[in-house]
Amino acid sequence: MFKRLLLTIFFLLIYFKSSESSEKQNIINYLDEIDNLTFNFKQTIDEKTEKGNCTIEYPKKIYCLYDNRNKKIIVSNGKSLAIKNQASNQYYLYSLKKTPLELLLDKKFLIQEIKNSKSRIIDNKYINFKIVKNNNEINIFFDKKNLNLLGWQTEDIYQNLVITYIYKIRYNQMIDKKIFKLPKRN
């Protein structure tokens, strides 16, 4: 009886471990096939929520246009990150290395970290990987059913909690590379 119980526990552990590694490998394969993605987003920073759309091109390029009265844009050319409020013409320039986006926009880094991380299932709906690097903590979320990227949680350069949910995702689209040029100061 005791041997049977131990054998059952052993096989259940093997089953769950292989299920986790299968999901992880499928997510890695999924990410490996992506050259770029375009999506809508809903982003909450502390209590403030904003919406818009983004295009990411690996490695390390992003263009986001916020759907608000300021028409804020965020652009990374792979080295720098510019944030421009088009209504007031305010312009901020940061080194991409000083932001968590540097890690999120590096597909090779994400794949390597996912390989080395343990996944966590949340509400039996989401697969989460926690990545800690260079004083940045990033939580990345995937849909448990179809393994699609759902979003991430980070802290911005001012230590505000930033939760980004993405939807209406399109992969490997033809995109105009000019969108990744940093905006000009007026």
**pTM of the predicted model, to two decimals?**
0.84
pLDDT digits (tens, 9 = 90+) for 91-148: 999 999 988 999 999 999 999 999 999 999 999 999 999 999 988 899 999 999 999 9
pLDDT of residue 21: 62
Tokens describing residue 172: 């490997």
The CA distance from 146 to 52, in Å, is 24
Buried b (16+ CB within 10 A) or exposed e, 135-161: ebebbbbbebeebbbbbbbbbeeeeee
Q: What percentage of residues in the chain have a pLDDT greater than 70? A: 88
pLDDT digits (tens, 9 = 90+) for 13-30: 444 444 446 899 999 999
Check whether 3 has a pLDDT greater than 70.
no
Residue recorded with tokens 């992506």: 34
Asked if residues 115 and 11 have their Cβ atoms less than 8 Å apart, the reply is no
Domain count, the chain: 1
* 149 domain-assigned: yes
The CA distance from 128 to 117, in Å, is 10
* 40 domain-assigned: yes
pLDDT of residue 69: 86
* 186 domain-assigned: no
Asked if residues 43 and 89 have their Cβ atoms less than 8 Å apart, the reply is no
* 122 domain-assigned: yes
Task: Look up the CATH number of the domain holding residue 136.
Answer: 2.50.20.10
* 32 domain-assigned: yes
Rg (CA), the chain: 19
* 53 domain-assigned: yes
Domain holding 116, by residue range, is 2-180
Distances from the Cα of 46 to the Cα of 14, 81, 100, 155, 156, angstroms: 41, 21, 17, 10, 10
* 185 domain-assigned: no
Tokens describing residue 114: 């996912």
